[in-house]
């Protein structure tokens, strides 16, 4: 039986592996590698990339918030705003990106949000095996909802930021 590692970000148990991780998102090497597989699938399919890539990045980032610092404060806020735009308000991908661009210019607006202990029921483990584009898109949508719902205690704050930044 292969040893497993528990990701310090999302909590997923995956076969232990060595390898790189992100510099401030807290992820196990195995989780980071699965995320890379998901991204590669999206980069290889322009339509899939356009439809779901933003949600993939947002869901992963808020499940791996890291420790309080300037980059992580900005990251959590921006990615929660992305989920708010798409999941909560049904914004199309292009409009959601414009909101995130506005957020990137307002670093002074954000503060650290204490991450939830449980970060959602859908992780890279559920998304990575979905090889067909339709299944991949469906699982990413579920992942985005799951990650957004995990941060429910902070929804009022994110909605306030969203109202200030919505073009």
Both tokens assigned to 90: 């049904």
Both tokens assigned to 145: 């909802």
pLDDT per residue over 7-51, tens digit each?
A: 999 999 999 999 989 999 999 999 999 999 999 999 999 999 999
Q: Which domain holds residue 52?
A: 4-165
pLDDT at residue 37, as a whole number: 96
State the total domains in the chain.
1
SS3 sequence of the chain: CCCEEECCCCCCEEECCCCCCCCCCCCCHHHHHHHHHHHHHHHCCHHHHHHHHHHHHHHHHHHCCCCCCHHHHHHHHHHHHHHHHHHHCCCCHHHHHHHHHHHHCCHHHCCCCCCCCCCCCCCHHHHCCCCCHHHHHHHHHHHHHHHHHHCHHHHHHHHHHHHHHCC
pLDDT at residue 14, as a whole number: 95
The Cα–Cα gap between 50 and 85 comes to 15
Split at pLDDT 50, 70, 90, the class of 88 is very high
The Cα–Cα gap between 64 and 50 comes to 23
Query: pTM of the full predicted structure?
Result: 0.95
- CA-nearest of 19, 17, 12, 15 to 2 is 15
pLDDT at residue 66, as a whole number: 95
């Amino acid at each position: 039986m292969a040893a497993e590692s528990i990701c310090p970000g999302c909590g997923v148990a995956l076969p232990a592996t060595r390898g790189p991780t992100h510099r401030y998102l807290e992820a196990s090497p195995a989780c980071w590698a699965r995320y890379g597989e998901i991204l590669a699938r999206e980069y290889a399919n322009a339509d899939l990339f356009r439809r779901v890539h933003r949600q993939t990045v947002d869901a992963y980032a808020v499940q791996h918030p890291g420790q309080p610092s300037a980059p992580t404060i900005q990251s959590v806020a921006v990615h929660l705003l992305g989920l708010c735009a798409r999941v909560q308000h049904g914004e199309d991908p292009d409009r959601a990106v414009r909101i995130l661009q506005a957020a990137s210019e307002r670093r002074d607006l954000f503060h650290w949000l204490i991450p939830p202990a449980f970060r959602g029921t859908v992780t890279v483990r559920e998304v990575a095996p979905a090889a067909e584009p339709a299944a991949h898109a469906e699982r990413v949508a579920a992942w985005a909802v799951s990650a957004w719902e995990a941060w429910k205690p902070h929804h009022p704050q994110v909605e306030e930021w969203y109202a200030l930044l919505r073009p």
